[in-house]
Structure 1
């Protein structure tokens, strides 16, 4: 979540955006009075204090979900129990970012085994639809539509809960899901940022109802009287009943029982490809997190493909070849190096990242120090390179997401991310179930020679990634950041803020960020010629005008974006290696809260 404020001029830019970036003043209204931040006795004036607690900590995108997690910890639940409870609540309270119609990834530090465990809880495409049949269904389209039945893959979140719970859970699942079920029936007040996203999603859905096909169930669930407003009491009794079935019948209630049969019937009605058999065959996958050393004893850890987590590791491997701390935070030099490292890493993402069961990537080579040095050597420190390409293996022979993190009294730390992908998802809701199906299948390539090409029973490329950091080999920080291709960039910026610039956990997330967009994508044909390989460097208003001018002089296309939407949303927990005290943080771009006890 990026970056850094260079001077009081930069602070002024953050607090008082340029006039062109502000809302236009309607005729006849009084001018708006701009009010900047007050003072602080410690730390940066644009941030606030992290939360400190000894026994447990939760940081989520909604205060009520954080409170639920703490309640579960106090009842004797593990960090995994609390994370599942919070995630279930967020599917109700923040359906603009996640839900049980989507996928899940998690990293767990287990104090008993003293190791990181990774879970890939993503689902697959329909087993009964071949590539040729899928192409025919597209009816001449050259890419997979973002809405309607075609981009829907099997939702993996519920199975992910039960996999995590089976290995690390303590409390009964019925107790874990009870708070979300209660809020679904009794209601909760809608928070400001989520109300904003409700409105955005409704406008997008209404513009594209023809693509969706059947928007009636979604409208009845969330938009019967328009988009939910701030402070409005929102209920979703259908979701409450679905969660009750899961609480009583376990994961099989979702994948082999009444819920799966309801989905099968609905998919047949709306022209979807998923069938009961796809749900019955689904399973999550335990994977080994990868870690790369950065500097000062810090290691960044991420999950392997089909997620994009290793893009952050590739960026770290490139950036450790330059001492960023020699430059001021928020300087053109720092933003330039981060941007070019991102562009280099994402070229490899577009070329190699896919379902490893069908298209293994050369991961050891991609994460090697040698390859990091080779890629760093391609960066011109004085100007942006017009184009990069993917590396050649040296081998022998505006999705929306929720991220949360929880830590318990025993030292277990959970980094969990969950999403329906683009917006609220596909726009489709099965009869009476109260959740929207993800549109993750939009991320398949249609190039038959691409590793990420659509195939039956295949996991698509995934953007959602949880993160973890170690310090001197010990668990240090569980963290993550929401938002499509922003996520690897955000992970690296947070790491740089903490390691290179000594920011505290809260400041590292509140500081102004960059988000580079452009270059090749995993959905592109391998031989694409017309991609915008330079792309656009988006920055927040906290980046100074001087830095922006210098970046433009270096050849970057720079745009200032002041609404925070494309820069993600951050949660983090640090465990002090000497005292065991937890530090928790959320950030200003979301409604979230860090709580401890």
Structure 2
């Protein structure tokens, strides 16, 4: 199906954020709008972004407002105690830039700090004070506003302040995250400092949550700017709390933190231009390499999620993940062979290794040092002028290190877990180093160079395979935005030199699963709409009709708001 056909096939409603009633919450629900749109993991956060758009802000302003609101309504997944990546396409110049506000290792970090059996057994890099990396979210937001926005932090933070003070009903997804992490939340954060616990028990879905401590932090930020965090009372509270519990972060670590402007990872897929996040995120390059391999095969002829299509995609993912482990990390600490990894010629060589009837049982050695968890979040924003922003950010695990600031109410990340415990790894901890990530905020242009898609998802290393599938669903199989997001997913990678289990959602037919087993794949079938595969948000652009078409993942609390 041509691009025009697939876009117009889904353009059946006019410019509203309301959706029609469907029989299932998982039925595709494309939302159309003509002026601006935010697709996020929470309707309240998406509304915060659109509120800023309606007040005259651009997509960057709205993205920061959305991210701050997500800190309130989905604080288990991201916030000012974490970090992330932002990819921006500027309408006036067509330039695409990437902002890296990934967390850093504190200055006292060492390569072997998590290598001992004691450190592994006690999960020192996962929970508690030694798991916390230096946060970058606010520094990244400020860079984005200063260089590409039109409004101040004090202006865009207002919806988040209101949400924190007035409260909101706890969603089922966040309530489940609270319940799942109840033991560690109770261990590291006193109940009086945790708005998600009451009378020794986790709050349930539907109960109202107010966050006066977080509102206090946001009001300080509105008044004094990000200095209140990096060189002021909010950051001092964080450092004091971490050090009291045995951590190594210092005030100097916060003061030294700087976001970095990066050149985005670039590639093409069947003529569509891809811009995604570059290292220290592995996402963009591994996505581009995977799609470069798959471009050699007629997936649309083989059928969506057919045994052959899944087999070839799985093999491509394995080889791309092998290179991810061998070559990718913080570019300030190692030389990365960008040209090779993004090369069509190199991808063709890898494509030729795929055996149609037999799954690879060994892939060149890799270093599987990263395993981010579900708590990441993604949102996509577009404004009337044509600016596009794709943001993926995180605190790593749900509720990060399970430390919540006792005075200012924000969750501390556990991003140090994204380093390898192996001191010899290219991704081992070092002072000021940024751990390898899989986050893949992605902007796609059509073959004529016009905006086509903004997409991303949480989901750890599954981020890369999910974004690749969503893009293929649209480009190869003519799906609408939300149809592509809701479609059944699968994922694969390598661990060391050996392929990991091929994991599939149960909606993929049993006959397909059996055919994959016959090819030699070890298979694990998961739930039908499994949160393991993330919670994608995306926007398609119909430049001919001037429409924005948004989709949000029902695997999570995703929603789209446009006007």
Output the TM-score relative to the length of structure 1: 0.85
**SS in structure 1 opposite 2:181?**
helix
Q: In the alignment, what sits opposite 2:232?
A: 257
The equivalent of 2:384 in structure 1 is 409
Correspondence list, 1:291-302, <5 A: 291-295=266-270, 297-302=271-276
Q: Give the superposed CA RMSD.
A: 2.1
Map of 1:69 onto structure 2: 49
Q: Does 1:511 align with 2:487?
A: yes
Give, in angstroms, the shift of residue 457 of structure 1: 1.5
The partner residue of 2:474 within 495, 498, 504 is 498
CA distance in 1, matches of 2:162, 2:46: 16
Structure 1, residues 15-43: CA drift from partner, whole Å, max 9, x if none? xxxxxxxxxxxxxxxxxxxxxx859xxxx
Larger mean Cα displacement after TM superposition, 415-424 or 126-135: 126-135
Q: What corresponds to 1:184 in structure 2?
A: 164
Picking from 259, 262, 273, the partner of 1:287 is 262
Instruction: Write the deviation string for residues 41-100 of structure 1: whole angstroms up to 9, x where unpaired.
Output: xxxx96334111111011111111111111111100111111111111111101221121
Q: Find the counterpart in structure 2 of residue 82 from structure 1.
A: 62
CA distance in structure 1 between the partners assigned to 2:341 and 2:143 by the alignment: 29
Structure 1: 4+ residue segments shifted above 4 A: 132-144, 203-206
Residue 421 (1) aligns with residue 396 (2): yes
The residue matched to 2:28 in structure 1 has which SS? coil
- Separation in 1, partners of 2:404, 2:523: 39
Which whole-Å deviations, capped at 9, do the CAs of 1:406-447 have from their partners, x for residues lacking one? 111100011011100112100112331201111111121243
Hey, what's the Cα distance between the residues in 2 that align with 1:235 and 1:543? 41
TM-score by length of 2: 0.90
Counterpart for residue 369 of structure 1:
344
Q: 1:443 to 1:132 in 2, by over 3 A?
A: closer
SS in structure 2 at match of 1:421: coil
Question: What is the CA distance between 1:133 and its match in structure 2?
Answer: 6.3
- Structural mapping, 1:377-456, within 5 Å: 377-389=352-364, 398-456=373-431
1:221 aligns with one of 195, 209, 220: 195
CA shift digits 1:426-481 (9 cap, x unpaired): 01123312011111111212433322121111111123221111112232211111
- 8 Å CA contact 2:191–2:197 kept in 1: the answer is no
1:217–1:430 contact (8 Å) kept in structure 2? no
SS of the equivalent of 2:131 reads coil
CA contact (8 A) 1:515 1:566 kept: no
Name the counterpart of 2:281.
Answer: 307
Number of residue pairs matched by the alignment: 532
> CA separation in 2, counterparts of 1:266 and 1:191?
29
C-alpha change, 1:308 and 1:80, in structure 2 (3 Å) is: same
SS at 1:150 equivalent: helix
Q: Distance in 1 between matches of 2:403 and 2:108?
A: 20
2: CA distance, partners of 1:582 / 1:132? 49
Corresponding residue number in structure 1 for 2:519: 554
- In the TM superposition, residue 139 of structure 1 has moved relative to its aligned partner by 5.2
Deviates most, 226-235 or 215-224 = 215-224
Matches of 1:204 and 1:551, distance apart in 2: 39
Q: Give how far 1:191 is off.
A: 1.8
What is the SS of the residue equivalent to 2:376?
strand
Q: Is the 8 A contact 2:32 2:550 kept in 1?
A: yes
Give SS of 1:304's match: coil
For the structure 1 residues 534 and 204, does the alpha-carbon distance in structure 2 shift closer, same or farther, using more than 3 Å as the test? farther
Q: Distance in 2 between matches of 1:140 and 1:465?
A: 28
Secondary structure of 1:400 counterpart: coil
Q: Residues 315-366 of structure 1, C-alpha deviation per residue, up to 9 Å, x if partnerless?
A: 0111101111111212111111111111111111111111100112111111
Out of 215, 221, 230, which is 1:240 matched to? 215
Q: Deviations 1:548-567 (Å, cap 9, x if unpaired)? A: 11011111121221151111
| Deviation of the 1:227 alpha carbon | 2.1
Q: CA deviation at 1:390?
A: 5.1
